[in-house]
Structures are given as C-alpha cells and as structure tokens.
C-alpha cells in the first residue's frame, strides 16, 4: 500500500517538475521581473508599488503605475507591482516586497499610511514613498509626496466657472478621503470666485471601480442642469464622461468634463482640458534621494509653482481663445497667491 | 479499508494542489516567468524567515476559526454559510467595546473576546431560529446575513465609528491588543486560542455523549427524531456555537492582527472556511491543518506575485483551482460508481487520474 | 427631483439584475442554487466587451457574453450535477475564479494605459406608436433591444413554467426529481440544460453592462449585482413576475440612493444597499417554508443504480 502511495507521489512530483522544466525554457530569455525596467542601464535599484485599485483602471491606478514606470525608466530602476490589494492585505503585501530586497516601496495614496508606518518600523533600510501622505507622516524612512490638492481643485474650478452656462457644476468623488475633500473644496471656492452665482453638486460613489455608478451619478447631476464636471474617482469618472457624451448626443457639445490626473484630452469628446499632475517627477525626486542616501523625514510638495501641476492641452474648438487667456490669468493669480482669495 | 480512506483523504487534496500549481506554472511560463523560481518565492514567502513563518501563522488564525465554524455546523447536518457575517459581527462588537468604552488592559481584552463570542453567537442564532421555526433554508438566510453584516460594518467605518480622514475606525488601544508570544515575531496568542478551540471542538464532537448525539442528528435527522433526540434543539445549539466560534475568530483577528475595521476586512474568510471544512472532511484537527496550508498558500502567493511580477489575478486563479479540484476530487470518490470500482480495484492512482479529467 | 429621470434610471439599473435573476430562476427551478452569478457576469462582461471592441458589433458582444457565461457555468454544472458536489462551494469558487480570469485576460490583451479602451454601445431603438405615449413612452419604449429582450423573457418565462408541458416537466425536476425520473424525464439532461440557460442569461447580464450600459470594462464592474439578483429570485418567490417586481424595487432603491446623495452628501448609502438583503430576509421569514421555493433546491440528485 505504502509503495503505491509513494509511487503516485513521485509520479505526480516528476510530472509537475517536468511541466515546470519544459515550460521554463521559453521563459529563460525573458526571466526575472515581468514588469522589467526600461532601456536604461540597470542601476541595481528596485521599486515596487502596492495599489488597491487595478493598474488598468484608466484612472488613478494606471496613472500612478505609469508614473512609477516612467520615473524608474529615467533612473534605471527595476519595477514591480501588486494591484487590487484589499485594504486588510496592505501590510502583508508591502512586507513581501521588503523581504524581496526592494529599495523603495511606492504607496499611491493616503489610505496606505497606517500599514506603511507599521511595516516601516521593521525595515529601517527600505524607503517608503507615500503619495498624498500627510505632512506629519514622514519618518527616517518615509517620505510624503504631496501634490497640492487645493490647487488641483482651484485649477479645475476656475475653468469650470468660466465655461458654465447654467451656473451648475458637478463633482464626483470616489471615497471621502482628505485629498478628495480638498479638491472638492478648492473646486467650489475657485468656481465661486469666478462667478458667485455658481452652485456645485457633489456626490461620492463609494467606489473607485463601479463605472455604472459614475454614469448614474452624472445623469442625476445632468438632470439638475450641471454642465461642467470634474471628478476624483478613477474608473467611476469614465462612466461619468460617458453619460456626458450621451447627453451631448451627436450634436454640438455643450456639457464638458475636466480630466485628471493625466492629460485626458481626446479620450472623450466632452473633455475640454485636464489638470495634469506630474507624479513621475515627484517620485523621481524621492528616488534620487534614496540613491543619494538622503531619503526620509521630508515631504516633497507638488504645486503649480514648481511645475508638478500643470494645465493640460485645451480643446480649442470648445474653449475659445478669450476664455483660455482669461483662465490663464486666473492661474497666474493663483501662482501669485491672490486667487481664489 | 480505514487506511485506504485516510490515504484517499490525503491524496485527493494533494493531487489537486499539485494540479492547480501545474496550471499556474504554465500560466507563469506563458507570461515569461520562471515557474521554478516562482515556487522558490512561494516557499520563501511562507517559511523564508522566522517572521515569514510567523506571518503564515497569523494568516492561518482567522481561517482556523471560520473553518471550525463551518465544520461544527456541518457535523449537525446544517450548512452554516454565515461564518463571514458572524466573524464580522464578532469583530464589530469587539471594536465597539475596545474603542468606545474607554477601557484598556488585559481585563478589557477578555471582555472584548466575550463580546465577540456573544455577537457571533447571536448572529449565528438567526438562521438557526428561522430554520427551526419557519423551516427556512439556512444557506440562503446565512448568505443574506453576511451581506447585511458587511454593509453594516461599512456603515460603521465610514460614518458612526469613523476615525480620521480615511474610512476606518480607531485602532484598538495597545494595552487591549493580543500580545505577541515572542516579542520579535509577529505571531500573537491568537493562534493559541485557535488551537485550543480546535481541541475543544474535537473533544466535544468525538468524546462526549452530547457530541455523539449531535453527530447522530447530522448523519440522519429522521432517525434521530425517532430516537427521541430533540433535533431542533441540536440544530439551534450548533448554529449558536458555530456562530460563537466565528465571532471569537473575529474578535481575535481584530485584537491581534488588524486592530481596526477597514474596507476589505474579512472578505472571503467565511467561504474559505466552508471550503476548508469540506476538504478536511469535517474533521476539526484536519481543518486546522488545511487552514494552515491555505495560509501557506496565501502568504507564499503574495511573495510569489511580488517576486515574479505576474498579475495578481494569477494567484486568485490558482487558489480557486485548488478548491475546485479538491472538492471535486472528494465528490468524485464518493460517487457510488467510483466507490464500487475503487473497492474492486483497491487502487489509488485512479482517484488521481479521474480527478484530472 | 425629476421623476422621469428617476424611473429611467430605475429601468437602466434593474435590467442587468433582471437578466441575471431570470438566469438564477431557471437554475433554481431545476433544483440548482447557483451563487456564482457574480463570477459568470464578470466573465460575460469581459467576453462581451472584447468581442464588441474587436468586431464593433454590440450584438456579437452579447452573443459572446452568453457563450462565455455558458462556458464558465459548465464547470459548475459538471461538478454539481455529475459529481454531486456542494453547489454553494462551486458557486463561490466561480466567484473567485471567473473574475480573476477576466481580469487576467483583460490585462494581457489591453495592457496598462492611462485611458480605458472603449467599445461601441448598443443603440436604443424606439418602438413606433408606443413611444408616443405621453411620459411613459419615452421612458419604457425608447430603450436598447436588450431591455425589451429582458422584459420579453419575463413574459416568456411565465408562460413557459405555467402553461407548457415542457415547463411543468422542468419544474418537476426541481421539486421531485425521483418522481420526474420515473415519468421518463431525463433529470440529468434537464439540469445541464438549466445550467446552460443560466450561464447564457447571466453572461448576457454581464455583457449588457459593458455593451449597453457603460462602454468600458474595468475589474469590479459587476459590483455585487449577482447577489442582488439572487435575493430578487427569493424575494420574487420564484415566479417571473415576482422577480420582475423585485428587480424594479431594488433598481429603484439604488437609483433613489444615488439621487439622494447628490442632494445631500451625507446619505449613509450602505443602508440603501442593505435593502435587497433585508427585504429578502423579512419576506422569507414572513412566507415561511410553504412558499420557500423548489423543494429539491440545493440538493444533489443521485440517480439510482441500474
């Protein structure tokens, strides 16, 4: 009896090994990390991203992943990622990368702060870069990367204020997190500074990936005459844009959307402009710190003034030259600290 | 015959795991990764360092509880699929007591654990009561209750018990948390509680007369009724106990690992418990072993994904395959035709071959 | 609040749930509880999206969704019917397996980019005359063909199960499989057929999301709709009319919830999301065992040895 058991076991083992062996041949040429670094010469450094949404969500996840890949390609770092990680698994996922000898872990959001602090204690030699991390978060091995959410809101709000004809604006958020709330507040403040009669409708989808919900929320706002939209909810935003396109129909485009964090002009006909956040540039600064050994205990700010935030390309057919120049005036005032006051 | 049965219950899951990994290896190879390296990462992740080993135990703890929860109810012939809801209700009660009553220390910890047990037991009693009074299908009721519990938890961490700017509750105070067994390792006394519960369940089911009666009800309800057992009482009892086990698990998880309610908390634990109990053939001790194995797979898989860079979904595929194949394997060897054939041949290879089909 | 918009939104949100609830109805009528609807839907959503993206035809997308749904559900069918394994376990296993496969295929095919791939949406077709009915016409008769399909399926299902011999035989399989077998009904075959119908309808429900509703695919697009459909079947007491009403109610709750949020951001949306489940529990407790669905529901059927 035992003999047969042993036989079966060895057989199975041999089979699986054979399968592995056979399969590994074509892999030899492309071994190592699937998300290998770009053409730049390897620097020996490795960075990994742990993300709760999917990196192919066409929104936040994708933008952050691309930012990491771009920054890493410039400096010759290797990259890796884990996406769709549940909040309760953040810590163990981060720990995995620490154990694998990654030099830096990139956490794209404030929601990773607690897990990061917990793990960072045990791995003093590894650098942790938290995007949108709070200013009091940094320690010896944690750096916050903080694009100015107020300014993002101002930049979108000013344009929305100039473009609206109905004086009703829409804003769709994913989760009620600090940065989203700040963007909403900035959006509202700037729009009202441009035109005091404006009201802003806002709602949270409670999700970053329920596209249909974005569509329904946008429809609800459309029925209340909102005509310029801005959002902070990844895939949910793409649903909203679709609802706007549908509402515009085949005729003239009269309802607009402002994209972020990448330049989304051309993705949907309704996109008139984008507020672009250069996460790659800020992450690159953090990586250079790590290489130079000066990482930690600081917050890398991203603002319009230092070039990390910028105005994307305009849709020239929808945004007239007059409005564009009026808008750029507001942006200059914002840079000078006098807008929205 | 007994030996053959034991052999089978080891062989079937083993074969399904190997098969699932062969499929996983093929996917990894097709993506340009090295399967051998992937397996190396898997072991490194699960056992590589003392802390990894500890992490695996930490991960196993909640699974042991939900596995025992499913196991206990199944032994009485009722399908408690509400382990997740009961686990979550236990966690909620614990979180509420630990963060809002303003008490700290070991005494508070014991109180928290008790509240977790009670909350889980109450949540478990609902499908039991509805079954014995209204004759409702306990599976459907307990699934619905899982969703109610999950959404209720969501309500708490986004509004009522929310603390800070991210949707989550406050953390359990340090003094109330379950302490680490060895200060340098992540593993807490939670695993000891889990093992103790397993031992008690094993003892109760197989060494007491009440346990024997409970199993008798599970094997044949009609016969038990004729023998004068109060079937309804046993059904309710098993639901309450199994809910209490899950509730205690939720309490331990909150006090020892997560410290706060957040989104994604406990997702899938209930179902994992059911699958594990079935793979373990409803044996409490075997459930612990299977739970540990699942934990190895999970922690290892995290590292494997990180190391090889394959999409995270590959790991989910492999895990689902293990369950699909293992449960199918057991169902297969239980089929009358196959059983007869096995009895005639006395072979074990057959089970494996059939299963790959 | 704009009532017309609210009703329109209700119809839109109820349609995918309705399609999937009908899928579950066909499955449960044959005694098979399938809780893997979410999984089947996500695979159907991906298959529908990809085919629609490649061919540019939403109708082919729907067809692909149906095929994909059947394919995935065959795992469930084989294991639960032929192997007599736990139905619930396989439902849940599909819920882990199918979305992972869908996400995997999408990632491999489309890669990672900062914009989502978009397919062509199915155009709505107005029904002549009916669409001119004031108010309701625009709401109910100016929709995509899939919406009409869903409502026709409701009518068809009601007639099939109550008026036709085939339908009664079908129901017998879910009620008294042993008796059905002695009456010459091939129970095993009927159950497989049920699984194919279930897979096809659930797959269509998924594909509806990506070819008629939104024009993109993202992981998590199904967002638990399969479980709401499961509740709808129970709440609708296993009759197609009841299922329709349940779906409309749940769709309405969701639409209302989203509208309330726009007016007041502090709406606790989880309370609204609980409605389907709580309704179902209360209804179950109220009507008790007598109306608790097909009698052999969830029980494996082992054919007697010959």
Q: Which residues contact B311 (CB under 8 A, 6 or more apart)?
A: A83, B31, C103, C104, C107, C108
Same domain, B207 and B326: no
Q: What pLDDT was estimated at residue A10?
A: 44
Q: What pLDDT was estimated at residue C43?
A: 96
Q: What is the DSSP string of B42-77?
A: HHHHHHSSHHHHHHHHHHHHHHHHHHHHHHHHHHTT
Same domain, B163 and B233: yes
Give the percent of chain B with pLDDT over 70: 94
Helix H or strand E segment including B315:
helix B312-334
B54-67 residue pLDDT tens: 888 988 999 999 99
Same domain, B218 and B261: yes
Same domain, B138 and B251: yes
Closest CA to B131 of B42, B284, B239: B239
* Angstrom distance (rounded) from CA C242 to CA C50: 34
Helix H or strand E segment including B142:
helix B138-155
Same domain, B260 and B342: no
User: Which residue of chain A has the CA closest to B47?
Assistant: A99
Same domain, B46 and B193: yes
Contact B274 C100 (CB under 8 A): no
Is C214 part of any domain? yes
Same domain, B65 and B142: yes
Same domain, B248 and B335: no
Sole residue written with tokens 């009440």: B210
Report the relative pairing of strands A78-82 and A46-50 from DSSP bridges. Answer: parallel
- Per-residue confidence in pLDDT tens, chain C, 306 aa: 567 778 888 888 899 999 999 999 999 999 999 989 999 999 999 999 999 999 999 999 999 999 999 999 999 999 999 888 888 888 988 998 999 999 999 988 887 776 677 888 888 887 777 777 777 777 777 788 899 999 999 999 999 999 999 999 999 998 888 888 888 889 999 999 999 999 999 999 999 999 988 888 888 788 888 988 988 998 888 889 999 999 999 888 888 887 887 776 566 777 887 888 888 888 888 876 665 577 777 777 776 543
DSSP state of A140: T
CA dihedral sign, ordered B70, B72, B78, B84:
negative
- CB atoms near residue A10 (< 10 Å): 10
User: Which residue of chain A has the CA closest to C116?
Assistant: A58
Distance, C-alpha A136 to centroid of its chain:
21
Burial of B110 by CB count in 10 Å (0-12 exposed, 13-18 middle, 19+ buried)? exposed
The better pLDDT of the pair A132, A39 is held by: A132
Q: What is the mean pLDDT of residues A256-267?
A: 86
Closest CA to C24 of C36, C12, C14: C36
Q: Residue B189 is part of a domain; what is its CATH number?
A: 1.10.3470
Q: Residue B347 sits in which domain range? A: 311-357
Bond before A340 cis per omega within 30 degrees: yes
**Closest Cβ–Cβ partner in A54, A58, A242 for C115:** A58
Is C303 part of any domain? no
Give yes or no for B336 touching C (CB within 8 A). yes
pLDDT at residue A188 tops 90 = yes
Contact A204 C113 (CB under 8 A): no
Sole residue written with tokens 């899938």: B268
**Closest Cβ–Cβ partner in B29, B265, B302 for A26:** B29
Is C129 part of any domain? no
Is C297 part of any domain? no
Is 0.80 topped by the overall pTM?
Answer: yes
- Å from C299 to nearest chain A CA? 34
Q: What is the DSSP string of B5-28?
A: HHHHHHHHHHHHHHHHHHHHHHHH
> Which chain A residues touch C258 with a CB distance below 8 Å?
203, 213, 216-217, 220
Q: Which chains touch C (3 or more CB pairs under 8 A)?
A: A, B
* Angstrom distance (rounded) from CA C70 to CA C84: 19
Contact A212 C223 (CB under 8 A): yes
Is B330 part of any domain? yes
Average pLDDT across chain A, whole number: 82
Q: Residue C258 sits in which domain range? A: 3-112+141-291
Same domain, B278 and B158: yes
What structural domains does chain A harbor? 46-147+279-302 (3.40.50.2300), 149-260+307-335 (3.40.50.2300)
In chain B the first and final C-alpha atoms are separated, in Å, by 25
* Angstrom distance (rounded) from CA C270 to CA C281: 17
Strand segments, DSSP code E, in B274-345 are none
* Angstrom distance (rounded) from CA C59 to CA C212: 10
pLDDT at residue A1 tops 60 = no
Most confident of A50-64, A268-282, B1-15, B30-44: A268-282
> Which chain A residues touch C110 with a CB distance below 8 Å?
56
The better pLDDT of the pair B323, A209 is held by: B323
- Å from B32 to nearest chain C CA? 12
Is C119 part of any domain? no
- Å from C264 to nearest chain B CA? 14
Closest CA to A261 of A58, A110, A52, A125: A58
Q: What ipTM was estimated for this complex?
A: 0.83
Specify the number of domains making up chain C.
Answer: 1
Specify the number of domains making up chain B.
Answer: 2
Contact C90 B148 (CB under 8 A): no
Q: What pLDDT was estimated at residue B353?
A: 47
Same domain, B169 and B286: yes
Give yes or no for C33 touching B (CB within 8 A). yes
Q: What is the mean pLDDT of residues B317-342?
A: 81
Q: Which residues contact A250 (CB under 8 A, 6 or more apart)?
A: none
Q: Residue C258 is part of a domain; what is its CATH number?
A: 1.10.3470
Is C117 part of any domain? no
Q: How confident is the model at residue A178 (pLDDT cuts 50, 70, 90)?
A: confident
**B window 317-346, beta carbon within 8 A of A:** none
* Angstrom distance (rounded) from CA C185 to CA C179: 9
pLDDT at residue B21 tops 60 = yes
* Angstrom distance (rounded) from CA B152 to CA C268: 10
Helices (H) and strands (E) in chain A, counts: 10, 12
Q: How confident is the model at residue A32 (pLDDT cuts 50, 70, 90)?
A: very low
Same domain, B118 and B197: yes
If DSSP states are collapsed to H, E and C, what string results for chain C?
CCHHHHHHHHHHHHHHHHHHHHHHHHHHHCCCCCCCHHHHHHHHHHHHHHHHHHHCCHHHHHHHHHHHHHHHHHHHHHHHHHCCCCHHHHHHHHHHHHHHHHHHHHHHHHCCCCCCCCCCCCCCEECCCHHHCCCHHHHHCEECHHHHHHHHHHHHHHHHHHHCHHHHHHHHHHHCHHHHHHCCCCHHHHHHHHHHHHHHHHHHHHHHHHHHHCCCCCCCCCCCHHHHHHHHHHHCCCCHHHHHHHHHHHHHHHHHHHHHHHHCCCCCHHHHHHHHHHHHHHHHHHHCHHHCCCCCCCCCCCCCCC
Q: What is the mean pLDDT of residues A239-265?
A: 87
Same domain, B233 and B113: yes
In chain C the first and final C-alpha atoms are separated, in Å, by 66
* Angstrom distance (rounded) from CA B41 to CA B307: 6
pLDDT at residue A7 tops 60 = no
Q: What is the mean pLDDT of residues B118-125?
A: 96
């Amino acid at each position: 009896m035992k003999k047969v058991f042993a036989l079966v076991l060895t057989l199975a083992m041999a089979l699986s090994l054979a399968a592995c062996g056979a399969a590994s041949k074509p892999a030899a040429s492309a071994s190592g990390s699937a998300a290998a670094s770009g053409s730049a010469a390897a620097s020996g450094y490795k960075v990994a991203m742990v993300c709760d949404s999917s990196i192919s969500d066409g929104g936040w996840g994708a933008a952050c992943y691309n930012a990491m890949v771009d920054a890493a390609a410039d400096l010759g770092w290797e990259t890796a990622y884990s996406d769709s990680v549940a909040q309760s698994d953040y810590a163990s996922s981060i720990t995995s990368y620490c154990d694998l000898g990654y030099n830096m872990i990139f956490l794209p959001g404030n929601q990773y702060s607690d897990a990061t602090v917990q793990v960072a204690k045990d791995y003093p030699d590894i650098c942790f870069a938290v995007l949108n991390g709070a200013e009091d978060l940094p320690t010896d091995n944690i750096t916050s990367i903080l694009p100015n959410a107020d300014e993002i809101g101002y930049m979108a709000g000013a344009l929305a204020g100039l473009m609206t004809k109905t004086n009703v604006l829409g804003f769709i958020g994913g989760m009620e997190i600090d940065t989203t709330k700040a963007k909403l507040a900035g959006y509202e403040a700037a729009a009202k500074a441009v035109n005091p009669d404006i009201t802003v409708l806002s709602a949270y989808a409670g999700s970053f990936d329920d596209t249909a919900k974005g569509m329904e929320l946008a429809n609800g706002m459309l029925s209340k005459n909102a005509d310029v939209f801005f959002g902070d909810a990844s895939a949910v935003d793409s649903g909203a844009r679709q609802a706007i396109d549908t509402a515009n129909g085949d005729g003239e485009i009269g309802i607009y959307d402002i994209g972020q964090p990448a330049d989304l002009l051309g993705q949907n006909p309704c996109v008139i402009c984008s507020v672009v956040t250069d996460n790659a540039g800020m992450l690159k600064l953090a990586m250079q710190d790590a290489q130079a050994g000066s990482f930690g205990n600081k917050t890398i700010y991203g603002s319009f003034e230092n070039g990390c935030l910028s105005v994307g390309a305009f849709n020239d057919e929808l945004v007239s030259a007059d409005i564009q120049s009026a808008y750029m005036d507001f942006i200059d005032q914002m840079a000078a600290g006098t807008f929205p006051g | 015959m007994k030996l053959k049965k034991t052999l089978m219950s080891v062989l079937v899951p083993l074969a399904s795991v190997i098969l699932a990994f062969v499929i996983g290896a093929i996917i990894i190879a097709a993506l340009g990764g090295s399967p051998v390296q992937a397996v190396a990462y898997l072991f490194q992740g699960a056992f590589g360092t003392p802390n990894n080993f500890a992490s695996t135990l930490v991960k196993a703890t909640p699974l042991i509880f939900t596995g025992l929860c499913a196991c206990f109810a199944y032994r009485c012939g009722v399908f408690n699929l509400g382990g997740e809801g009961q686990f979550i209700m236990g966690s909620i009660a614990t979180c509420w007591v630990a963060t809002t009553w303003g008490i700290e220390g070991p005494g508070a910890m014991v109180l928290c654990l008790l509240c977790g047990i009670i909350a889980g037991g109450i949540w478990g009693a609902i499908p039991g009561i509805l079954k014995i009074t209204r004759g409702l299908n306990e599976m459907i009721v307990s699934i619905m209750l899982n969703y109610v519990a999950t959404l209720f938890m969501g309500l708490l961490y986004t509004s009522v018990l929310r603390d800070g700017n991210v949707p989550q509750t406050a953390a359990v105070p340090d003094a109330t948390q379950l302490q680490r067994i060895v200060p340098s390792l992540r593993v807490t006394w939670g695993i000891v509680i889990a093992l103790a519960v397993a031992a008690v369940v094993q003892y109760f089911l197989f060494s007491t007369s009440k346990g024997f009666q409970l199993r008798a009800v599970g094997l044949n309800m009609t016969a038990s009724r004729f023998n004068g057992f109060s079937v309804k009482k046993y059904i309710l009892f098993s639901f309450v106990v199994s809910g209490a086990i899950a509730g205690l698990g939720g309490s331990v998880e909150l006090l020892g690992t997560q410290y706060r309610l957040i989104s994604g908390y406990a997702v899938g634990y209930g179902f994992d418990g059911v699958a594990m109990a079935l793979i373990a053939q409803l044996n409490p001790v075997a459930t612990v072993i299977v739970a540990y194995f699942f934990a190895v797979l999970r922690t290892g898989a995290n590292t494997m994904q990180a190391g090889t860079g394959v999409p995270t979904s590959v790991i989910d595929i492999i895990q689902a395959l293990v369950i699909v194949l293992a449960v199918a394997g057991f169902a297969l060897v239980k089929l009358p035709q196959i059983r007869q054939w096995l009895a005639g041949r006395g072979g074990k290879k057959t089970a494996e071959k059939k299963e790959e089909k | 609040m704009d009532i017309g918009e609210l009703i329109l939104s209700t119809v839109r949100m109820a349609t995918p749930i309705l399609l999937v609830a009908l899928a579950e109805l066909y499955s449960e009528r044959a005694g098979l509880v399938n809780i893997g609807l979410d999984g089947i839907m996500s695979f159907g959503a991906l298959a529908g999206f990809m085919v629609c993206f490649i061919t540019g035809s939403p109708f082919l997308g729907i067809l692909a969704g149906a095929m994909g749904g059947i394919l995935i559900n065959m795992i469930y069918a084989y294991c639960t019917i032929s192997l007599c394994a736990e139905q619930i376990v396989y439902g849940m296993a599909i819920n882990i397996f199918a979305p992972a496969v869908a996400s995997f295929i999408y990632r491999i095919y489309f890669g990672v980019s900062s914009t989502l791939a978009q397919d062509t949406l199915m155009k709505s077709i107005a029904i002549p005359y009916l669409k001119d009915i004031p108010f309701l016409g625009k709401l109910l008769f100016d929709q995509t063909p899939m919406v009409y399909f869903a409502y026709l399926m409701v009518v068809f299902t009601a007639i099939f199960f109550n008026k036709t011999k085939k339908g009664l035989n079908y129901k017998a399989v879910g009620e008294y499989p042993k008796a059905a077998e002695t009456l010459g009904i091939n129970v095993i075959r009927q159950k497989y057929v049920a699984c194919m119908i279930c897979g096809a309808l659930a797959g269509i429900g998924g594909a509806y999301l990506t070819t008629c509703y939104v024009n993109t695919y993202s992981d998590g697009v199904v967002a638990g709709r399969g479980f709401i459909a499961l509740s709808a079947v129970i709440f609708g007491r296993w009759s197609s009319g009841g299922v329709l009403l349940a779906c409309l109610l749940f769709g309405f709750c969701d639409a209302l919830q989203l509208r309330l949020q726009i007016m007041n951001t502090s709406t606790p949306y989880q309370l609204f999301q609980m409605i389907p489940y709580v309704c179902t529990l209360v209804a179950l407790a109220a009507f008790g065992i007598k109306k608790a669905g097909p009698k052999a529901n969830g029980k494996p059927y082992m054919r007697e040895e010959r």
